[in-house]
Amino acid sequence: MLLMVSLILLNIIVVVTTYNLKRLSESFSSILNDRLLPSTEIALIQGYCYQNRLDLEDMVFNKSPERLKLHIQKNNRLIDSTFLAYRQSYFTEEETGHATQFKKALGEYRQHEARILQLLSINQAEQAKEVFYGNSQRAFAGMITELHQLSGIQLKVGKNLHAETGQNILVIKLVAYCSLCLSIFLAARLLGVLGIKPNLVTQKNG
């Protein structure tokens, strides 16, 4: 009867271990695919946005070459493709809200950006400066704020996943210790049933 109970316990241990190993694998996968990679993508988007802002400032105040306009257009394509890749990751409800707000702010900023470039093309530098420091600046600030919010969520959710991973590892350790103890017990019982007594070898000091 006792052996039967022990075998049942061993089966339970196997099930618990398998479940926690699966959870551990899922946690590591989520940390990589849904937190680390998206954090990198957010950082890239921020970098492209700031670079475009600096290029636009150069064009407005320093009459920089037309090639900066091509650089802005290239960065805009990179922002769109990176944000599209970012949207493929798992989103919490909070992330969905901020991602939507970022997309809205990005669209608004690009309208002002296009207006500034249009004014520059017809030599209306003073009006371009007004838009740059006015509506364009406010839209840019709103866009960056949403990116900062998304970065903060990545950190917060990542910490939760890390804590969950630690709990799974602790459970696996406890189950391993229980399995070892139970295996020793079963081995001792089996030796008893078979009538085998372990030989203890003692060494005498000569």
The residue length of the chain stands at 206
What's the per-residue H, E or C state across 108-149? HHHHHHHHHHHHHHCCCHHHHHHHHHCHHHHHHHHHHHHHHH
Cα distances (angstroms) measured from residue 160 to each of 27, 49, 157, 181, 198: 10, 29, 5, 32, 49
Tens digits of per-residue pLDDT, 180-196? Answer: 666 666 666 666 655 66
| Residue 137 vs residue 33, higher pLDDT | 137
For the cut 80, the answer to whether the pLDDT of residue 88 exceeds it is yes
Q: What is the pLDDT of residue 116?
A: 93
At residue 54, what are phi and psi to the nearest 5 degrees?
-65, -40
Amino acid (1-letter code) at residue 31: I
Listed ranges 1-5, 94-98, 134-138, 162-166; the one with the highest mean pLDDT? 134-138
- Asked whether 149 and 96 are in contact (CB, 8 A), the reply is no
Q: Give the span between the Cα atoms of 95 and 151, in whole angstroms.
A: 10
Instruction: Give the pLDDT mean for 85-106.
Output: 86
Angle between helices 2-30 and 135-194 (to 10 degrees): 160
For the cut 80, the answer to whether the pLDDT of residue 17 exceeds it is no
Tens digits of per-residue pLDDT, 61-75? Answer: 887 667 888 999 999
At residue 55, what are phi and psi to the nearest 5 degrees?
-65, -40
Domain annotation for the chain: domains and CATH numbers:
2-186 (1.20.120.30)
Tens digits of per-residue pLDDT, 151-179? Answer: 888 766 655 555 566 566 666 666 666 66
Look up residue 103 and give its two tokens: 């997309």
| Residue 194 vs residue 143, higher pLDDT | 143
